[in-house]
Amino acid sequence: MSGSGKSTLSQPLAASLGAVRIRSDVERKRLFGLPAEARSESAPGAGLYTPEAGRQTYQRLMALGRETLAAGYPVILDAAFLRRDQREMARRLADACDTPFVILDVQAEAHVLRTRIRQRTAAGGDASEAGLPVLERQIASREPLDVEEQHCALRIDAETAGAETVRAFLKRPSPHRLRG
C-alpha cells in the first residue's frame, strides 16, 4: 500500500543483505522515458497508471529480478503487489530461480498512510507519485493475501517495525515461509 513504508524499509534491508532493490516507481518511469524524480502528472488509472502500464511495469520487475538473480545477487522487488496475480508472478520467479520467496506484508492504519502520503508529497523528491486518490483506489481494490501466501509472509507493523525486524525474521529457519 502506498505510504506504508515499503521503500523506507527495503532500502536498509537491501543494504544489509547485499541485495539489489528494484522499485516499481522507478521502473515504471523508465519504461516511459522519464527520470525517477520526474512528475508524470498522470491521474489514477491514466497515463503511467493504466492497467496496461501496470502490467508492463510488473513484467519489467520480473525481468530485472530474473537477471539480477541469474547474476548471483539477492533481489528485493519493491512494489505494492496489490493483486494475487502480481504476487504469483514473483513467487514463480523465485521458484524458477531456486531462490527463497518472502512477502513483506507492510501494514498501517489508513489514517497513517494518508498522513505519510501528505508528508511525502509536501517534501517532494521521491519517485513515487502516489497521492491520496491513488491510495483510496488501492484501499478499495487490494486483494488480501490468501492462505498459501500468508505462509510465506512476514506481517510488519509499519508504525513500529523496521529493517531489524525483517533481518531477524530472515535469519530464522522456517520451512513454511520459503518456497523456492
Please identify which residue in the block is written with the cell numbers 533481489. 75
| DSSP assigned state of 102 | -
More confident residue, 23 or 139: 23
Q: Which residues contact 47 (CB under 8 A, 6 or more apart)?
A: 40, 41, 53
**What tens digit of pLDDT does each residue of 52-78 get?**
999 999 999 999 999 999 999 999 999
pLDDT recorded at residue 30: 94
**Average pLDDT score over residue span 75-88:** 96
Instruction: Read off the pLDDT of residues 40-59 as tens digits, 9 standing for 90 and up.
Output: 676 777 677 889 999 999 99
Cell numbers of 23, please? 522499485
Query: What CATH number belongs to 6-171?
Result: 3.40.50.300
> What is the pLDDT, as a whole number, of residue 174?
46
How many angstroms separate the CA atoms of 88 and 94, rounded?
10
Among 150, 115, 112, 134, smallest CA distance to 47 is for 134
Cα–Cα distance, 93 to 100 (Å, whole number): 10
**Cell 505462509, residue?**
151
Q: What is the mean pLDDT of the chain?
A: 84
